[in-house]
Amino acid sequence: MAKKQTALFNAENKRPVALLGVKFDVEVKDICSKVLMRQHFRNKEKCAIEAVYCFPIEHNAAIYDLKIKTGGEEISASAREREKAFELYDRMLEKGGGSFLLDMGEKDMLLVSVGNLLPGEDVSIEIGYITQLSICDGITRLQVPATLTPRYKPMNADPVKTGLLSPPYASAVPYGFSINVNVMNAEISGISSISHKIRMKPNSSGQGVLIELNEKNACMDRDFILDIKSSVMDQPLCIVSRHENGEAAAIIRLFPEFRDEGLMYSGKSSDMLFILDCSGSMACSSIENAKETLEICLRAMKEGDFFNIIRFGTDYQVFYPEALPYNENNLRRALKDIAGIEADMGGTELSEVLSLACSMPVHPESRRDVILLTDGAVHNTSELVKYVAEFHKDARFYTFGIGYAASHNLVKGIARASGGAWEMLQPGEKIQQKVLRQFARILQDHIKITDIKAENADITVDMEHLPAIYEGDSFTAFAKVKKISEGATLLISGKSGKQNFRWKCGMKNIGDDNLIPSLWALDTISSLEYKGYSSQKGKNTGMIRKIALKFGLLSCESSLVAVSSAGKNKGTDAFPEYRRVPVMISAGYEAYETNSASLFLSEEISEYSTSDEWYLRLLKTQDAEGAFDGLEAIASRLKRNISEMEKAITELASKSEWNDRATVRKIIITSLALRLLASEREIERICGRAIRKAGQWLDKALAPDRTERLLADELVDTLLSYSSPQCSTRKAKSTE
């Protein structure tokens, strides 16, 4: 197994670990999840301690509640300005009282401090948060973060901040986690987990499912991931509720599917920049999968496109002095260069690479699309997202987070800030399909929402902050609701090129509930963070603080703090000993000790599922012009012997009226490929660009004379008729 020394950390002295375990109770309803995280601390030492625990959180979580249960007392925290919260925490700590603080280190990393934990004392920390769930191709994904990995420290990073967000790591820790998930959605057609073994049973209402782990306590070396397929997640919806502070808000969700080929495929050329992480952790299977998907993407490009490749680590390398026009010669040149790529470039320095991507010239009449594949984690994620938000110009970033613990804030934040899209690639998933799906998004003229208005309701929507709409993905927006009446209806307008779109749905008012208004508040805070980082920084900071305090949310400008009513160490000069809770390193890393008693981390290679899908093998045979030569893959799909297929094609070609037998063979194989790729909706969606290019090649290869086109179709029909009845039926259904 390949290993690489990646970082050096101070070894934790052999003291008892104060954290005993973590428990998650999750409710999933419609498009949101509500999570209660319980952290159980116990001081097993003979002195008072201050326990500090750094842990992951979903980057779009609205963290609204912190409760402390200790010695029969329950204390509720309040949101305060960050500096004032720290002052209160420190002041009570000095007085010997109980002091508790929850602070945001990064949008996807939190710090909880448990102060003046007396010998033998138990404390339960309860953190409540809510998130909106991502939905893609009809699958709702719940991801509960449970793991951290060492984050690279850029040269210009704040050493104090990076120190706080660098807990002591260990290969094993004496605590784990358990989870209970109540999926309250009706019409569930499937539930699965790629991360853990689970068991299920009907919930008490009979309208959903309860899920828990097979094991009592799971290691905190990977996130918990649950995929939920529901047959009713296809209609627009709008749900309204009112916060206890009196503010009302709505969540709006669309599930667009566009059958119009003119909408699906953009005619605009792309000036594409592939950015590939070649740090040491990408070695072996990870880099090979990335190279394979890069090859598939290159083969799916079209005439008129341009491309360049950058690989990076501690430094970076631009492959070509200027972007290459896409043709057969340059495709072969790029494939040869890709074959020589190794994961040998050290750490993960993204700043200069992103700066370069935002500043490189773009060919006239082309659009800059950036595909970023990285498994690294860095400490300055917020700064990187802010940079892309301000300087991306018209470039769209399509990002991939690779591995068990890639930063969601980085991967999702960069994509959203630039109007692109993201994919998280978890070990165990088939990386190629996700990359193809991402590439299909690049092909699209995404829809921009131009107006959201209501009948029988008064709403306000931040139109500047709305994400782009891509086919197959869900779209989410939030609205502030000033007034709503019975029968309120939402009207949504969008535009893509010269085409206009309309959606309409009822506004369902569920009454008093803090969930949706809290998500609206978080979305508004994110919008303020993305906008005007230079000229309006002070103004936006004040607005973020005001909103966070009004809704009681944790943010970059507010912390949650609680203190006990009485001093516990009164009359003594004892000050609690500072203790960092060690964190289990994410799967794919391994810890070991050296003679110097320092803790080093060696990195294992994360294994991805190697896909042998017929259509992926087929795509690798497409040439720059668009023709396919993947008879082996086609024979596999049709369950035919390849020799029989070759013989049948030769016989059909000899009977055709064309003289060029090689061209006839190409036409037949490409026509077969198009039929089969379009026979399944999911495959058609992720292979859209390759299908489009092959169709264009056929249009050129076949004369305008309808007789030749009919002859080609007849040859393919004859060949398909040799296949099994099952294959023929599928083809007939797909072409009705």
The CATH number that applies at residue 371 is: 3.40.50.410
- The pLDDT confidence band at residue 99, using thresholds 50, 70 and 90, is very high
Q: What are the C-alpha distances in Å from 564 to residues 68, 75, 128, 165?
A: 9, 7, 20, 26
Q: What is the pLDDT of residue 706?
A: 61
Query: Are 424 and 280 in a shared domain?
Result: yes
Q: What pLDDT sits at residue 560?
A: 98
Name every residue whose Cβ is closer than 8 Å to that of residue 729 and which is 6 or more positions away in sequence. Answer: none
Q: In this structure, is residue 451 part of a structural domain?
A: yes
Which pLDDT score, from 0 to 100, does residue 5 have? 37
pLDDT reading at 234 higher than 90: no
| 385: Cβ contacts below 8 Å, ≥ 6 apart | 409, 410, 413, 414, 417, 530
In this structure, are 279 and 396 located in the same domain? yes
Is residue 277's pLDDT more than 70? yes
Query: How confident is the model at residue 570, as a pLDDT?
Result: 46
Q: Calculate mean pLDDT across residues 215-238.
A: 88
Same domain, 277 and 304: yes
Give strand pairing partners of 306: 271, 325
Compute the average pLDDT of residues 724-729: 42
| Among 366, 394, 429, residue at a domain's last position | 429
Is the pLDDT higher at 436 or at 98? 98
Q: Please, which pLDDT band fits residue 602 given cuts at 50, 70 and 90? A: very low
- DSSP secondary-structure letter at 515? H
Question: Which burial class, exposed, middle or buried, applies to 732 when counting CB atoms under 10 A from its CB (0-12, 13-18, 19+)?
Answer: exposed
Looking at the fold, whether 383 and 517 belong to one and the same domain comes out as no
Residue in 166, 200, 165, 163 with CA at minimum distance from that of residue 180: 200
Q: Are residues 394 and 459 in the same domain?
A: no
User: What average pLDDT does range 582-607 have in this prediction?
Assistant: 52
Q: Cβ(369)–Cβ(297) under 8 Å?
A: no
The residue with greater pLDDT, 510 or 3, is: 510
Average pLDDT of the residues in 169-197 = 91
pLDDT at 601: 41
Q: What residue type is 243 in one-letter code?
A: H
Q: Is the pLDDT of residue 682 over 60?
A: yes
Same-domain status, 244 and 344:
no
Please say if the pLDDT value at position 83 is more than 50. yes
Domain holding 665, by residue range, is 614-734
Q: Which pairs count as long-range contacts for 524-530, CB under 8 Å and 24+ apart, including other chains?
A: 524/462, 524/478, 525/553, 525/555, 526/60, 526/465, 527/462, 527/464, 527/465, 529/382, 529/386, 529/556, 530/385, 530/386, 530/389, 530/416, 530/417, 530/465
> Does one domain contain both 715 and 669?
yes
Q: Which residue has the higher pLDDT, 526 or 300?
A: 526
How many C-beta atoms surround the C-beta of residue 573 within 10 A? 6
> Is residue 77 included in any domain, yes or no?
no
Distance CA 131, CA 108 (A): 12
- The residue whose two tokens read 């997640």 is 233
429 or 309, greater pLDDT: 309
Mean pLDDT, rounded, for 18-37? 95
Residue pair 416/319 in contact by the 8 Å Cβ criterion? no
Domain assignment of residue 281, yes or no:
yes
198 vs 392, more confident: 198
Residues 6+ apart with CB under 8 A from 216: 178
Which of residues 531, 551, 571 is at a domain's end? Answer: 551
Q: Lowest-confidence range among 8-12, 89-93, 229-233?
A: 8-12
Q: What's the maximum distance between 2 C-alpha atoms anywhere in the chain?
A: 104
pLDDT at res. 46 = 93
User: Which of the two residues, 720 and 696, has the higher pLDDT score?
Assistant: 696
Looking at residue 233, its pLDDT comes to 66
Percent of the chain at pLDDT exceeding 70: 86
Same domain? For 523 and 405 the reply is no
Mean pLDDT of the chain: 84
pLDDT of residue 425: 83
pLDDT score, position 535? 47
According to the model, what pLDDT value does residue 444 have? 77
Least confident of 40-44, 76-80, 417-421, 436-440: 436-440
Pairing, β 324-325 against β 316-318? unpaired
619 contacts 294 by C-beta, under 8 angstroms: no
Number of domains in the chain: 3
Place of tokens 């987990």: 193
d(CA 138, CA 726): 26
Give percent of the chain with pLDDT exceeding 90.
46
Q: Could you count the other beta carbons within 10 Å of the beta carbon of residue 225?
A: 19
Task: Check residue 647 and give its pLDDT.
Answer: 85
Residue 177 lies in a domain: no
Q: Specify the higher pLDDT residue, 714 or 133.
A: 133
What tens digit of pLDDT does each residue of 368-402 get? 999 998 876 788 888 888 889 888 888 999 998 88
Q: Is residue 519 part of a domain?
A: yes
Asked if residue 606 has pLDDT above 50, the reply is: no
Q: Where residue 69 falls among pLDDT bands split at 50, 70, 90? A: very high
Question: Are residues 253 and 279 located together in one domain of the fold?
Answer: no
| In a shared domain, residues 541 and 622 | no
84-93, 162-171, 515-524: segment of lowest average pLDDT: 162-171
What is the torsional sign of CA 549, 25, 182, 147?
Answer: positive
Residues 6+ apart with CB under 8 A from 163: none
Q: Is residue 593 part of a domain?
A: no
The answer, yes or no, to whether residue 565 has pLDDT greater than 70, is no
- Read off the pLDDT band of 658 (50, 70, 90): low
pLDDT at 489 over 70: yes
User: What dihedral do alpha carbons 436, 613, 261, 499 form, nearest 10°?
Assistant: -30
Highest mean pLDDT among 111-125, 493-507, 526-540, 559-573: 111-125
Residue 105 lies in a domain: no
How many C-beta neighbours within 10 Å does residue 13 have? 8
Q: Residue 31: inside a domain, yes or no?
A: no
Residue at a domain's end among 496, 521, 551 = 551
Centroid of chain to Cα 90: 37
β-strands 448-460, 475-496: how paired?
antiparallel
Question: Amino acid identity of 414?
Answer: I
Handedness of CA 596, 598, 599, 601 (dihedral sign): negative
pLDDT number for residue 433: 78
Per-residue pLDDT, averaged over 114-132, amounts to 95
Q: At residue 730, does pLDDT exceed 50?
A: no
Judge contact between 206 and 622, C-beta under 8 A.
no
| CB 195 within 8 Å of CB 222 | yes
Q: Could you read off the pLDDT of 235-263 as tens digits, one per residue?
A: 889 999 999 999 999 999 988 766 555 55
Helices 431-443, 688-701: axis angle to 10 degrees equals 60
- Per-residue model confidence (pLDDT) at position 203: 87
Residues 674 and 693 placed together within one structural domain of the fold = yes
Q: What is the pLDDT of residue 265?
A: 59
**What number is the average pLDDT over the span 686-712?**
77
Q: Flag whether pLDDT at 67 surpasses 90.
A: yes
**Is residue 158 within 8 Å of residue 165, measured between CB atoms?**
no
Confidence of residue 569 (pLDDT cuts 50, 70, 90): low
Nearest in space to 701 (alpha carbons), one of 655, 647, 658: 658
417 and 481 fall within a common domain: no
Give the pLDDT confidence score for residue 262 in this predicted structure.
54
What is the average per-residue pLDDT within 410-414?
Answer: 91
Tokens of 675: 């039929």
